[in-house]
Structure 1
Amino acid sequence: MTASARYERVVRKAQADGRVPALSVALHRADREPWVFTVGDSGNPVHPLGADTRFRIGSITKTFTAVLVMQCRDDGLLDLDDPIAEHLDVPAHGDATIRRLLSHTAGFQREPYGDIWDTLKAPDATEVLAQLDRAERVLPNARRYHYSNLGFAVLGQLVARLRGGSWTEVVGDRVLAPLGLTATTLNPPPQAAVGYLVDDWSDAARPEPQTDLGGVGPAAQLWSTAGDMAAWGAFLAHPAVADPHGRVLAASTVDEMRFPATVTHDAVWQSGFGLGLIIEPQGKWATHVGHDGAMPGFLASAYGRRGGEGVPDGLAAAVLGSSGTSRVINEIVHELLKLAVELDPADIRPWKIAAPAPREYRSILGHWYSEGTPFVFSWHDGSLRARLTELPPDFPPAVFEPLSGQPDVLRTVSGRETGELLRLTRDDSGEVVRMHWATYRMTRVQQGFDGGSASDGAE
């Protein structure tokens, strides 16, 4: 059975077992044409189900708002630790910081003031801010994770204010257009699928209303296709591949967004939140990065896979479904990503001879000890690297870059002790004989903190 046939079987089974009226799925990777598959019935008599059928993506919208916030930060319009009152005129909760809102740790209540899911009438952009004094801080700031649509609605208004337009205009001009996500829209186009509530006890299904979220739109308004959302997942996981010129964000900024700021449960550490992004650990150093979405009649997921063996550049998947209750929609995105690595892994690139390490760093290479523990330093892909010798070869190493004009002082730019300095000490011949990493002494032989050799024992 081919890889495509295996994918198709997974999707068909999910649609049948989950009783999803329409399911649209896409796999994206840089070295293949996108794989898109649909099964079911759109419920739209004029536009049958196909690759261009649009689905509500719900809270995946938050990832777009988060990217807009990070653009503002990179452009110097805000600091992530600014309280929102520095940028918005709010009647309450102005001390909530932008970083805390992005990571759902500001303690905002989940929804805006009022029972909007009863009335299906959302506040407009002005009302979202004006009614903040009627909304609760259900937890103290920074206490723990608490998901909040209200928090992202406020972030959307923040971006709009700083950019001098509506959130809709800003997301279109600054994200959708540069990445070519032409099927992602604020409102449902004619080819939109019907969203359903599927009856638990029969095969009946009731169409759900299409809800305009108004000022809460930055949290969950958008519609899209599986193809667009798989491409978006690739951007979130592999920005240097999906956006090589940094038109939307620098790859380093997306890296910052992916670093976990909080876990979502205090006892079950199976997922976390970065700055607007969900991080799902998959074992073997792999993670899935993206977001899920839910709106009346629709569930959606878009994730990219990072790390681990065999992961192709730009690997991402999206699953969009027209049922508001079938959680299989949010589960199979992870199954498909794992299956893609298993069935169609990245090509193994042949090893090639490369230039040697620069002469000034050659005496570093090999084994060193710190705190009595062995490390190995090596030179690969144009950079100095280090790892604990006991770790497996596929564990991400620490990577160093020399400071400008100071070749004997290097900054750790990734991996263990990121941000810390590595200082080199040389003998009269120029050989490195001692190093200090994050101020801890590193030597060629195993030493105690007093500088004595372990082999000497007690004197």
Structure 2
Amino acid sequence: MTVTDRLDRMVRRVQADARIPALAAALHRADRPAWGCAVGDSGAGTPLGPDSRFRIGSVTKTFTAVLTLQCRDDGLLDLDDPVGRHLDLPAHGEATVRRLLSHTAGLQREPDGDVWDTLRAPDAQALVADLARAERVLPPGRRFHYSNLGLALLGRLVGELRGGTWAEVLADRVLTPLGLAATTVAPGPTAVTGYLVDAYSDEARPEPPADFGAVGPAAQLWSTAADMARWAAFLADPAALDPAGAVLAPATLDEMRWPATVTDETLWSAGFGLGLILVPQGERVVHVGHDGAMPGFLAAVYGRRGGEGTPGAMGAAVLGSSGTAAELFDLPHRLLAAAVEHDPADVVPWRPGPPAPAEVRGLLGRWWGEGFEYVFSWHDGALRARGAGDPAGKPPAVFAPVPGRPDVYRTVSGREVGELLRLTRDGTGRVVRMHWATYRFTRAQETFDGYDFRVGD
């Protein structure tokens, strides 16, 4: 069985077992042609296929989060700014941008009113006017509490700072640059019908359409599985899809993927960064993305990072036209794992490189710090360090020279990131001691009182 046959069968099994009227899945990776599979009927009188659009619900939040970080990178806001510094709000202006992004601001889940009874969301004016009636249900920073209201405020913030609507800014600054032409605010002519599938019969009842108005930045978008797989790949590996950083710098995506909180304080099975769900997979693999749910629709969109055999720019999306088929949520994770297991990335052959610079050759090899052994080496044009007992998959610490300070390096990734590494040489120029994050490193194992004062700094 080929890998595409395996993936197809996984999709068809979920569609049948979970009774989903229409199910579309796609896989994007940098080293292979895109894969897609669609099963079922659109329910809209049009063929179900790669151009069929589904509502993606809260996956929309990942786009709003990227727009917010763009504003930060352009100097329009600071993540620790209270949102009221930029918006004229009658209440909750003290909530910071960072806490709104990470769902730790403590705001209630929805805008004021019974939105899910009426399916009438507030417009921009009403969203702000009714904010005084919304509760802060938890103290700020206490814990994760999901809030569509918080992301709606960030969407309004983005529009205000950019001088347009959220939808206009999204199209101009994300969708067009990344070629996501099938991702839209409105459903369009290829939209499938969303259903509630009866629990005790085979009846599928259409759900009413709903425009989310000013809450759109939290849940409004429609898209195809192929577009969403590409978006997931961008969230996991932005440099591959946006090498110039026109949408967002890779370092900013790194920041968004760093866990700000756990979503369950007892299980710790998933985390939340800045607008992104983080799902650990074991063996230093993490899936990053978001789930979505709207009446008649479910979506799960995730990119894969780390691990043996994972190619660059790898993302999967699964979109379905049932609002209750929770089995869908696990499928992108299984598709990503199966693709890596049965069709891993090609092994890149090693080739000799240039020698290490003269100024670092004398420090390469084994050193001891805090009673533990470390190995310093030069690979891929950079100084690196690993614990002698580190597992093979653990990334090394990587250092970069500090301009204007000879023999001083900054840790740019890995252990002690951000800290300095300082070299000490004797009269002959030989490196005899190092200090990393102020801890002493020596060629032989020493106690903490083993400093040799005969060798000056």
Category of TM-score, reference length = shorter chain: over 0.9
Provide the alpha-carbon RMSD of the alignment: 1.0
SS of 1:131's partner is helix
Matched ranges for 1:312-331 at <5 A: 312-331=311-330
SS of 2:346's partner is coil
Say whether residues 1:36 and 2:15 are aligned partners.
no
Name whichever of 444-453 and 152-161 sits farther off. Answer: 444-453
Say whether residues 1:18 and 2:18 are aligned partners.
yes
Say whether residues 1:225 and 2:220 are aligned partners.
no
Which amino acid counterpart does residue 57 of structure 2 have in structure 1? G
Matched ranges for 1:139-158 at <5 A: 139-158=138-157
1:147 shift after superposition: 0.6
Tell me how far apart the structure 2 counterparts of residues 271 and 414 of structure 1 sit (CA, whole Å): 23
Matched ranges for 1:23-172 at <5 A: 23-45=23-45, 47-172=46-171
Give deviations 1:409-428, integer Å, cap 9, x for gaps: 11111111111111111112
Tell me how far apart the structure 1 counterparts of residues 234 and 430 of structure 2 sit (CA, whole Å): 43
Matched ranges for 1:400-411 at <5 A: 400-411=399-410
Tell me how far apart the structure 2 counterparts of residues 294 and 430 of structure 1 sit (CA, whole Å): 64
Say whether residues 1:431 and 2:430 are aligned partners.
yes
> Residue in 2 aligned with 1:456?
none
1:350 shift after superposition: 0.5
Which amino acid counterpart does residue 436 of structure 2 have in structure 1? W
> Residue in 1 aligned with 2:455?
none
Unaligned runs of 5+ in 1: 454-459
User: If the length of structure 2 is used for normalisation, what is the TM-score?
Assistant: 0.98
> Residue in 1 aligned with 2:183?
184
> Residue in 1 aligned with 2:360?
361
Tell me how far apart the structure 1 counterparts of residues 363 and 137 of structure 2 sit (CA, whole Å): 53
Give deviations 1:309-339, integer Å, cap 9, x for gaps: 0000111100000011111111110000000
Which amino acid counterpart does residue 74 of structure 1 have in structure 2? D
Tell me how far apart the structure 1 counterparts of residues 354 and 427 of structure 2 sit (CA, whole Å): 26
Tell me how far apart the structure 2 counterparts of residues 408 and 274 of structure 1 sit (CA, whole Å): 36
Tell me how far apart the structure 1 counterparts of residues 396 and 80 of structure 2 sit (CA, whole Å): 30
SS of 2:265's partner is coil
1:452 shift after superposition: 7.0
> Residue in 2 aligned with 1:457?
none
Q: What number of residue pairs does the alignment pair up?
A: 452
Tell me how far apart the structure 1 counterparts of residues 278 and 204 of structure 2 sit (CA, whole Å): 33
Matched ranges for 1:370-389 at <5 A: 370-389=369-388
Which amino acid counterpart does residue 128 of structure 2 have in structure 1? L
> Residue in 1 aligned with 2:205?
206
Give deviations 1:288-309, integer Å, cap 9, x for gaps: 0111100000000111100010
Tell me how far apart the structure 1 counterparts of residues 142 and 13 of structure 2 sit (CA, whole Å): 41
Tell me how far apart the structure 1 counterparts of residues 59 and 440 of structure 2 sit (CA, whole Å): 46
1:407 shift after superposition: 3.5
Which amino acid counterpart does residue 22 of structure 1 have in structure 2? A
Tell me how far apart the structure 2 counterparts of residues 76 and 452 of structure 1 sit (CA, whole Å): 46
Unaligned runs of 5+ in 2: 453-457
Tell me how far apart the structure 2 counterparts of residues 397 and 452 of structure 1 sit (CA, whole Å): 27
> Residue in 1 aligned with 2:331?
332
Which amino acid counterpart does residue 322 of structure 2 have in structure 1? S
Say whether residues 1:5 and 2:5 are aligned partners.
yes
1:405 shift after superposition: 2.1
SS of 1:188's partner is coil
Tell me how far apart the structure 2 counterparts of residues 402 and 4 of structure 1 sit (CA, whole Å): 46
Which amino acid counterpart does residue 200 of structure 2 have in structure 1? W
Tell me how far apart the structure 2 counterparts of residues 374 and 52 of structure 1 sit (CA, whole Å): 56
Tell me how far apart the structure 1 counterparts of residues 284 and 221 of structure 2 sit (CA, whole Å): 32
Tell me how far apart the structure 1 counterparts of residues 25 and 439 of structure 2 sit (CA, whole Å): 50
Percent of aligned positions with the same letter in both sequences?
67
Tell me how far apart the structure 2 counterparts of residues 430 and 290 of structure 1 sit (CA, whole Å): 50
Which amino acid counterpart does residue 9 of structure 1 have in structure 2? R
